[in-house]
Amino acid sequence: MLCINYTKHKKSNQNAADWLLGDPMNEDQTETIELESFRSRSSSRIIAVGAILSAVYAITVLLPMSQFIGAGSGSILSFAICIAPLFGLVLGPRYGFAFGGIAAILATIVSIQFGSLYLLVPTIILGPAISGLLTGLCLRPITDFQGIKVPGPIITAMYLFLVVLLYLLPLYEVWWFILPYVLAAAVAIILQLSRFRFDSAASFSRIPLQILPLTLIGSFADFSMMTLGSVYILGLDAFVFGSLIFPVMLIERTVSVIISAIIAGVLFTAFRNELFVEA
């Protein structure tokens, strides 16, 4: 009986102390709070970076790179194509897809008074979002979507081969136009087989070697919507694709891949402690 009273008295004292001093948290509780705080800061930072990239994309849509062949004299292809791969590269697949879509909507609004190419070929609106998703999926061999393990580079390669097929069905006689897509798909497969994992904290000399394959994939993932729109909406013929668009496309996409890689390299080198790539 004495032991029971002592125990109750001890618990009562402890409860009083907890009330006065606060209930001390155990280590698991502390780690949980710190993790949630880190995730909150990371998400806020990703959203801020995504908003900035979307704004930059919308602004660069007004900077002409070349004439869009086959869509009238007022239609231009802009330097925004250099920004599209950055959504997935910097933000990862989920945020890359979301902010890529937001960027395209903003670009459509901004460019509408200048004869928006996005309205002429509506599939182009999907380009930055698809580029963000697929480039983000190639950052690591396996991406976890709510517990579902996805082999990102293989999914990317399958999409690019689907674009190849959809192009070749009506325009098989100018097969060489689609070869860059085959190259991008092959690069994605190599990334999967080599278990490639992007390291944003790598040394400056290693960053370009990691980024170039990703900007190549991102550039053609973005271009895929323009290609399919030109085939199935504008109905451009084989001669236009094989003789007029092909040489210009090689120059445009080479410039896009290189400029995207340079911008990403600068970002990850200068702000490697500030950028958090979402898994």
pLDDT reported for residue 36: 44
Q: Of 270, 178, 268, 170, whose CA–CA distance to 224 is shortest?
A: 178
* pLDDT for residue 99: 96
Report the alpha-carbon distance of residue 277 to residue 96 in Å, rounded. Answer: 10
Which is higher by pLDDT, 42 or 262?
262
Residue 12 predicted with pLDDT over 50 = no
Q: What percent of the chain has pLDDT over 70?
A: 77
Residue 193 confidence (pLDDT) above 90: yes
**pLDDT at 181 exceeding the cut of 70:** yes
Mean pLDDT of 77-82: 88
Residue reference for tokens 């991406």: 143
The sign one gets for the Cα dihedral 169, 171, 174, 178 is negative
> Are 153 and 140 contacting, i.e. CB atoms less than 8 angstroms apart?
no
> How confident is the model at residue 277, as a pLDDT?
54
6 or 59: which leads in pLDDT: 59
User: Token digits for 270?
Assistant: 């200068």
Task: Encode pLDDT of 135-153 as tens digits.
Answer: 999 999 999 888 889 999 9
**Predicted local confidence at residue 269, as pLDDT:** 79
Give the per-residue pLDDT at 11.
45
Pairwise CA distance, residues 8 & 53, whole Å = 62
For residue 30, pLDDT over 50 is answered with no
Question: For the chain, what is the mean pLDDT?
Answer: 81
Q: Are strands 64-67 and 148-150 parallel, antiparallel or unpaired?
A: unpaired
Cα(231)–Cα(251) distance, integer angstroms: 20
End-to-end CA distance of the chain: 59
The beta-carbon contacts of 105-108 under 8 Å, at least 24 apart in sequence, are: 106/54, 106/55, 106/57, 106/58, 107/57, 107/58, 107/61, 107/80
Cβ(207)–Cβ(268) below 8 Å: yes
The full length of the chain comes to 279
**Distance separating alpha carbons of residues 139 and 243, to the nearest angstrom:** 35
Pick the more confident residue, 118 or 186.
Answer: 186
Using CA atoms, how far apart are residues 118 and 104, in angstroms rounded to an integer? 8
**Each residue's pLDDT tens digit, 208-255:** 788 999 999 999 999 999 999 999 998 888 998 988 889 999 999 999
Per-domain boundaries in the chain: 28-270
CA nearest 89: which of 118, 128, 45? Answer: 128
